[in-house]
Structure 1
Amino acid sequence: MPDLPAAIPASDITGLVLAGGRGQRMGGADKGLQTLHGQPLAAHVLARLAPQVGTIAISANRNHEIYATLGAPWQARVLADTLPDYPGPLAGLLAGLRAARTEWLLSAPCDSPWLPADLGARLAEASRARGVAIATATTTNAAGEVSLHPVFALLHTSLADDLAAFLDAGERKVRAWYARHTAAEVSFADERAFYNVNSLQELADLDRA
């Protein structure tokens, strides 16, 4: 990758909301379109991610017209996987890396309505400081256990060809792909910011809260 500038401005980052999954733990429902407090989950994520980036896109494999309306205020593009059969978040990342018109891609899943407002800034600073093409988020619980949140990530678009080759080899695991590279891990204090909704029951409980 090229030498990094003194800082990575938001204008050099494309945001990507990952909403291309099967929604298996939600009975096949399109997770990003399930509502929380009257708004689709993906709309909550878009609203928090958009101020952190210069342009934004949505990775989706269903309901493109609906997702396009969610992204309308920011003129978000809706991107489908280039690989068949819902191969996982790496396929969404590849679509984002290929379509980005900036040097950097900042990704977040569609079911994380409280993602940090400083996610992009902190991951960008870590990438610049360490001179690496990948930065991801971690949290530490009260027991001192560290959790990696791999799809909350900042990626340099020069990684696209390597990721394509990884997927072509039949690989699907995000952490296994990151292991091929040097990645910066950034610790965030607020575990709730990375909470993701895994079931319709969880969503109903949150909606009543």
Structure 2
Amino acid sequence: MTIPIQSITGLVLAGGRGLRMGGVDKGLQKLHGQPLAAHVLARLAPQTGALAISANRNRDAYAALGARWHATVLADSLPDFPGPLAGLLAGLQAANTEWLLAAPCDSPYLRTDLAAKLGAEAVAQHADIATVLAPDASGEVSLHPVFVLLRTSLAADLAAFLGAGERKVRAWYARHRTAEVAFADGRAFYNINSLQELADLDRA
């Protein structure tokens, strides 16, 4: 068993500062002629019943980008770019579905079966959160916590966690029943962390 598509809202996390890219808005940087966020939206769309983008800068650009998929643009409710949990909170609070599936904007090779695989494990393990274990660029298996499927009923608990000044993703996951789902191929979960890396991929 897995979770029906119409029960899932997809969320592209594009609300960070992009510090490792020199402060540029990462989701709007282009790969093969399309913004990175567009690649992620295109891969999330068939897996979800609705779409949203978490963005704190260039909101008009993201609104124009998301229009093709009827994706709404959400800003953090907390100031000063407090991290991915704030983006998840915005998604949880806005979603009209039972589940939220989130992925970062710099993951253009996102798996098109991510919702199905995370959903199946969430159901099997009676979990409220399902996230990814996969090899990183060095081949070491590690947690990729911002690729995540989670129940939208967790919104109030996350708001309280952030309100207490907490920011660590794994610390919040530890408060809930979390399934860590293993994937053999890590390429889908690589993050593009520099303009040089993006340029290299663009030439590939």
Corresponding position: 1:78 with 2:73 = yes
Cα distance change of structure 1 residues 200 and 143 upon mapping to structure 2, 3 Å threshold: closer
Paired amino acid for 1:76: A
Identical amino acids, percent of aligned pairs: 75
Give the conservation status (yes or no) of the 8 Å contact 2:137–2:186.
no
Distance 1:142 1:74 in 2: 30
Unaligned stretches of 5+ residues in structure 2:
none
Q: Using the TM superposition, give the Cα deviation of residue 140 of structure 1 relative to its aligned residue in structure 2, in angstroms.
A: 3.8
Q: Does 1:103 align with 2:98?
A: yes
List gaps (5 residues or longer) in structure 1.
1-5
Task: Quote how far apart the aligned CAs of 1:142 are.
Answer: 10
Q: Choose from 161, 173, 179 the match for 2:156.
A: 161
- Residues 1:37 and 2:32 aligned together: yes
Q: How many residues align?
A: 204
Contact 1:120 1:154 in 2 (8 A): yes
State the TM-score, normalizing by the size of structure 1: 0.94
In the alignment, structure 1 residue 46 sits paired with structure 2 residue 5: no
Q: Deviations over 1:31-54 (max 9, x none)?
A: 000001110000000001111000
State the Cα distance separating 1:70 from its structure 2 match: 1.3
TM-score by length of 2: 0.97
2:130 to 114, 129, 135: 135
Alpha-carbon contact 1:68-1:77 (below 8 Å) kept: yes
Question: How many Å separate the matches in 1 of 2:136 and 2:18?
Answer: 27
**Which residue pairs with 1:189 in the alignment?**
184
1:61 aligns with 2:56: yes
Structure 1 CA distance, aligned partners of 2:75 and 2:24? Answer: 17
The C-alpha deviation readout for 1:168-204, integer Å capped at 9, x for no partner, is 1111110111111120011112111111100111111
Contact 1:13/1:105, CA 8 A, preserved across alignment:
yes
For 2:145, which of 150, 160, 181 is the aligned residue? 150
| Distance of 2:114 and 2:168 partners within structure 1 | 22
Contact 2:9 2:49 in 1 (8 A): yes
Instruction: Please tell me whether the aligned partners of residues 111 and 197 of structure 1 are also in contact (alpha carbons under 8 angstroms).
Output: yes
Structure 1 runs (4+) greater than 6 angstroms displaced: 141-144
Matches within 5 A, 1:163-178: 163-178=158-173
CA RMSD of aligned residues (A): 1.4
User: Are the aligned partners of 2:121 and 2:130 in contact in 1 as well (CA < 8 Å)?
Assistant: yes
SS at match of 1:71: helix
Contact 1:81 1:92 in 2 (8 A): yes
Paired residue for 1:120, among 107, 115, 121? 115
Is the aligned partner of 1:200 residue 2:202?
no
- Of the three residues 3, 10, 33, the one matched with 1:15 is 10
Q: Is the 8 A contact 1:59 1:96 kept in 2?
A: yes
Cα pair 1:140 1:187 within 8 Å, conserved: no
Q: Deviations over 1:56-91 (max 9, x none)?
A: 000000111111111112110000000000000000
Name the aligned partner's letter for residue 178 of structure 1. Y
Amino acid corresponding to residue 19 of structure 2 in structure 1: Q
Q: Does structure 1 conserve the Cα–Cα contact (< 8 Å) formed by 2:137 and 2:190? A: no
